[in-house]
């Protein structure tokens, strides 16, 4: 079949024939009338040389064929329902997103449906606000830039910078202030920091907002726990800066990370600060944005799926359950001055799930601490290694022997311990199978 050329037709006052009795025909009549066309609803036999377009939308293919023959004889372009081979006009599927019409031509209706869903999810939910804001701002900018390239470039920069992000967040006043600043200086201020939670590993667990911001940033500062698959989503032009820390070693001191974020943003760059999991859960995200706030740098925080949620879900262990656990606590098994800085008494409670982050090197002391405080050593416990990734493994034991079972298993960080009766549910609910070194078990 010959490839159709996508076109937008102005049909004001043009005669269009729509033949058919069903919902498609009615929708077409409505659409053409809304566009100002002069619509003739007909069963055929009415074609004259003044007709601009014909739509043969009968249920009966023979009637459509007959009308198509008539249209072809008069050289009038015709669309024939379900017969692309007889059609001069191919109809796209049209979605109105914000106030733009997006038309998709593809012969496979399932692909068209799928594209529609993807298009809608690619657009931030507040995009209509951007369209409105641009419309209102145009006039002001028209006097400043009489036309051509500089104006286009100015808008392009503005639309991918801090001001547009403020509009999306519903903060119109701040956006206006940024627009005024940009007009005064002649160049849009784009510098901003996006503090983004990258989730526990599987890149599909990023939020829509995280993906959008990653695709528009100029530089990224990332941690050791950010999965390589997440970094692969970045455009090639983005500068990648590793600032990961390792246990007991801090190659890039926190103060230096803070300064770098601030300086990059103040120099007008859009900087993504990517952190494993959620930036506000054992992630020092609060410290970083406090510094930015003091320096007057614009920022936004994008939550991520924390390791506890991701690992529990992929291990088939609900963290709460009506029969097993009514509360859940997240603790860190980090050492401070040689010992574990944990309030074990608060952790040993009936019906409570305990999730321990950063626990591999302190796992033994952590489990002993729980048992010493009265936890039954037979309480079920799981260690999730590299959760949500292809290399995920889950070791099931009891709190009394989790540390020994882990030592036998050549486990590699990152790992997370889940302790409590909910671990029993894994027997019934395990669903995820990693395809790499781990087998999901």
Ligand X SMILES: C[S@@+](CC[C@H](N)C(=O)[O-])C[C@H]1O[C@@H](n2cnc3c(N)ncnc32)[C@H](O)[C@@H]1O
Query: Which residue numbers are catalytic?
Result: 223, 245
Task: Confirm or reject binding of residue 438 to ligand X (CB under 6 A).
Answer: no
Site for ligand X in 29-88 (CB under 6 A): none
d(CA 4, CA 87): 10
For ligand X, the binding residue among 44, 137, 200, 380 (CB under 6 A) is 200
- Residue 419 CB, shortest distance to ligand X, in Å, is 13
For ligand X, the binding residue among 124, 137, 387, 438 (CB under 6 A) is 387
Helix (H) / strand (E) containing 6: none
Binding segment toward ligand X, per CB under 6 A, in 2-10, 24-32, 234-242, 278-286: 278-286
d(CA 252, CA 185): 35
Site for ligand X in 279-338 (CB under 6 A): 281-283, 306-307, 311
How many residues sit in the footprint of ligand X (CB under 6 A)?
23
CB-based contacts of 141, cutoff 8 Å, min separation 6: 151, 154, 155, 183
Task: Confirm or reject binding of residue 403 to ligand X (CB under 6 A).
Answer: no
3-state secondary structure 272-340: EEEECECCCCCCCHHHHHHHHHHCCCCEEEECCCCHHHHHHHHHCCCCCECCCECEEEEEECCEECCEE
Binding segment toward ligand X, per CB under 6 A, in 29-37, 135-143, 208-216, 276-284: 276-284
C-alpha of 143 from chain center = 37
Binding segment toward ligand X, per CB under 6 A, in 20-28, 231-239, 251-259, 385-393: 385-393
d(CA 414, CA 418): 14
d(CA 271, CA 291): 15
Tokens 């529990």 belong to residue: 312
Task: Confirm or reject binding of residue 355 to ligand X (CB under 6 A).
Answer: no
Judged by beta carbon, residue 21 or residue 390, the one nearer ligand X is 390
Side-chain-side CA neighbours of 235 within 13 Å: the count stands at 11
d(CA 415, CA 383): 7
For ligand X, the binding residue among 353, 379, 386, 403 (CB under 6 A) is 386
d(CA 38, CA 189): 49
Task: Confirm or reject binding of residue 225 to ligand X (CB under 6 A).
Answer: yes
- Residue 401 CB, shortest distance to ligand X, in Å, is 20
Task: Confirm or reject binding of residue 191 to ligand X (CB under 6 A).
Answer: no
For ligand X, the binding residue among 25, 416, 418, 425 (CB under 6 A) is 416
Binding segment toward ligand X, per CB under 6 A, in 12-20, 85-93, 273-281, 362-370: 273-281
- Residue 199 CB, shortest distance to ligand X, in Å, is 8
Judged by beta carbon, residue 278 or residue 291, the one nearer ligand X is 278
SS3 400: coil
Provide the Cα torsion 259, 262, 265, 270; round to 10°.
80
Task: Confirm or reject binding of residue 434 to ligand X (CB under 6 A).
Answer: no
Give me 24's structure tokens: 């498609």
Task: Confirm or reject binding of residue 384 to ligand X (CB under 6 A).
Answer: yes
Binding segment toward ligand X, per CB under 6 A, in 166-174, 213-221, 366-374, 384-392: 384-392
Give me 354's structure tokens: 């305990």
- Residue 212 CB, shortest distance to ligand X, in Å, is 21
Question: Contact residues for ligand X (CB under 6 A)?
Answer: 200-201, 225, 275-278, 281-283, 306-307, 311, 357-359, 384, 386-388, 414-416
């Amino acid at each position: 079949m010959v490839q159709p050329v996508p076109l937008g037709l102005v049909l004001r006052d043009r005669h269009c024939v729509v033949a058919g009795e069903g919902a498609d025909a009615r929708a077409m009549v409505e659409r053409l009338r809304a566009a100002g066309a002069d619509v003739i609803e007909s069963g055929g036999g009415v074609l004259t040389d003044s007709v601009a377009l014909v739509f043969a939308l009968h249920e009966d293919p023979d009637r459509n064929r007959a009308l198509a023959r008539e249209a072809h004889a008069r050289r009038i372009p015709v669309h024939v329902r379900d017969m692309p081979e007889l059609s001069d006009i191919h109809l796209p599927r049209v979605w109105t997103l914000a106030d733009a019409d997006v038309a998709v031509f593809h012969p496979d209706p399932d692909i068209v449906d799928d594209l529609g869903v993807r298009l809608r999810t690619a657009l931030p939910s507040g995009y209509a606000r951007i369209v409105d804001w641009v419309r209102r701002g145009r006039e002001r900018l028209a006097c400043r830039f009489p036309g051509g390239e500089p104006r286009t470039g100015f808008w392009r920069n503005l639309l991918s910078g801090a001001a547009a992000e403020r509009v999306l967040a519903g903060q119109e006043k701040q956006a206006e202030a940024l627009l005024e600043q940009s007009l005064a200086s002649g160049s849009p201020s784009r510098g901003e920091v996006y503090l983004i939670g990258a989730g526990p590993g599987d890149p599909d667990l990023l939020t829509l907002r995280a993906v959008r911001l990653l695709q528009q940033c100029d530089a990224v500062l990332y941690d050791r726990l950010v999965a390589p698959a997440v970094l692969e989503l970045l455009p090639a032009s983005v500068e990648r800066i590793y600032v990961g820390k390792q246990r007991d070693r801090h190659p890039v001191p926190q103060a230096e990370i803070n300064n770098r974020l601030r300086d990059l943003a103040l120099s007008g760059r859009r900087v993504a600060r990517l952190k494993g999991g959620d930036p506000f859960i054992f992630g020092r995200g609060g410290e970083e944005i406090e510094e930015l706030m003091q320096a007057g740098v614009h920022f936004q925080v994008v939550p991520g799926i924390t390791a506890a949620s991701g690992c529990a879900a992929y291990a088939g262990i609900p963290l709460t359950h009506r029969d097993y656990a009514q509360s859940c606590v997240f603790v860190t098994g980090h050492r401070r001055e040689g010992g574990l800085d944990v309030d074990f008494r608060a952790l040993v409670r009936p019906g409570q799930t305990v999730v321990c982050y950063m626990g591999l090197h302190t796992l033994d002391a952590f489990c002993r601490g729980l048992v010493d405080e009265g936890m039954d050593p037979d309480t079920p416990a799981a260690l999730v290694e590299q959760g949500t990734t292809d290399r995920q493994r889950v070791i099931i034991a009891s709190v009394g022997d989790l540390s020994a079972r882990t030592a036998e298993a050549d486990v590699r960080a990152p790992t997370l311990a889940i302790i409590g009766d909910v671990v029993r549910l894994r027997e019934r609910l395990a669903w995820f199978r990693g395809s790499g070194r781990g087998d999901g078990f």
